[in-house]
Amino acid sequence: MSSDLRRLFDDFVSIFFPKECGCCGCVLKYQERCICVECDFHLPYTNFHEYSDNDTARQLWGKVPIEEACSFLLLQKDSRVEHLIYQIKYNKQPFLAEYFGYQYGLKLLEAEKYTTLDLIVPVPLHAGKLRKRGYNQSSYFGRGIARAMHIPLREDLLIRNKSTSSQTGKGRLERYENVSDIFACNPVMIPYGTHILLVDDVLTTGATISSAALALLESFDCRVSIATLARA
Ligand SMILES: [Zn+2]
């Protein structure tokens, strides 16, 4: 199809199936993919991947011995990022997580600290929750990163034994007790010294992802870094 014809066809399709921006809900224009140009310009990108001492890493200090940690976006109340996370988690649009994963993967390729990564591992959902939602948004995020960085994604390493009940309204200590030993690892083989990038959608207290990282570090001779789509 010639490019003019293609464009005509795309315009025609978009009249009947308008695609919306994942961050603000406006109708996307021709050549805009997943988010509109304005949102892309105004999104609060953290650039945490550029330096080791960042807010996401600090949140995990003293909880788990990781190499590096970063988050792509800042999550604030009533913001574009909050809209995006809602679309990804509750409105069946996990491809938005993959889109942002791919964009983040391209950024991580430019950061020297992340050039030694060997594997991407998403934080798993509990089987019951996975059935209910139909997909794991963290897997989509990881898939995007893996594709951009040409690194394999492994979903057979970590197992989630139990679902965490809602974290809201719980004290700090209770949250930690709530997430301790919720993860286990499968008896699979990975090469000595493998550098794993553990990925999740949102980092809040860091309790869940720390617990997953500890399970990996206890089961494998590996190093672990962490990347999340957003930092609350
Ligand atoms: Zn937008």
Mean pLDDT over the full length of the chain: 90
Structural tokens at position 199: 């990925």
What CATH code would you report for 44-231? 3.40.50.2020
- HEC sequence for 62-76: CCCCCCCEEEEEECC
Encode pLDDT of 45-99 as tens digits.
999 999 999 999 999 999 999 999 999 999 999 999 999 999 999 999 999 999 9
Q: What is the pLDDT of residue 178?
A: 58
Q: How far apart are CA 2 and CA 116, in angstroms?
A: 42
- Asked if pLDDT for residue 39 goes beyond 90, the answer is yes
What is the pLDDT confidence band of residue 24, given thresholds at 50, 70 and 90?
Answer: very high
Q: What is the pLDDT of residue 169?
A: 54
Q: What is the mean pLDDT of residues 111-125?
A: 96
What is the pLDDT confidence band of residue 11, given thresholds at 50, 70 and 90?
Answer: low
**Can you give the C-alpha Rg of the chain in angstroms?**
18
How much distance in Å is there from the Cα of 18 to the middle of ligand 1? 14
- Asked if pLDDT for residue 2 goes beyond 80, the answer is no
How much distance in Å is there from the Cα of 89 to the middle of ligand 1? 18
How much distance in Å is there from the Cα of 33 to the middle of ligand 1? 10
How much distance in Å is there from the Cα of 135 to the middle of ligand 1? 24
In this structure, the strands spanning 183-185 and 158-160 are: antiparallel
How much distance in Å is there from the Cα of 94 to the middle of ligand 1? 17
Q: What is the pLDDT of residue 20?
A: 93
Q: What is the pLDDT of residue 7?
A: 73
Q: How far apart are CA 99 and CA 116, in angstroms?
A: 23
How much distance in Å is there from the Cα of 105 to the middle of ligand 1? 21
What is the pLDDT confidence band of residue 187, given thresholds at 50, 70 and 90?
Answer: very high
Return the percentage of the chain with pLDDT > 70, whole number.
88
Q: What is the pLDDT of residue 23?
A: 95
How much distance in Å is there from the Cα of 146 to the middle of ligand 1? 25
Q: What is the pLDDT of residue 162?
A: 78
How much distance in Å is there from the Cα of 212 to the middle of ligand 1? 33
| Chain region(s) in the chain for CATH 3.40.50.2020 | 44-231
Q: What is the pLDDT of residue 4?
A: 80
Q: What is the pLDDT of residue 204?
A: 93
Q: What is the mean pLDDT of residues 137-143?
A: 97
Q: What is the pLDDT of residue 106?
A: 97
How much distance in Å is there from the Cα of 28 to the middle of ligand 1? 8
How much distance in Å is there from the Cα of 42 to the middle of ligand 1? 9
Termini Cα distance of the chain: 45
How much distance in Å is there from the Cα of 157 to the middle of ligand 1? 36
Residues with CB under 5 A from ligand 1 (ion): 21, 23-24, 36, 39
How much distance in Å is there from the Cα of 40 to the middle of ligand 1? 7
Q: What is the pLDDT of residue 16?
A: 63
Q: What is the pLDDT of residue 121?
A: 98
- Asked if pLDDT for residue 165 goes beyond 60, the answer is no
Residue with tokens 């990781």: 66
Q: What is the mean pLDDT of residues 146-170?
A: 83
How much distance in Å is there from the Cα of 201 to the middle of ligand 1? 20
Burial of 69 from C-beta contacts in 10 A (0-12 / 13-18 / 19+): buried
Q: What is the pLDDT of residue 82?
A: 97
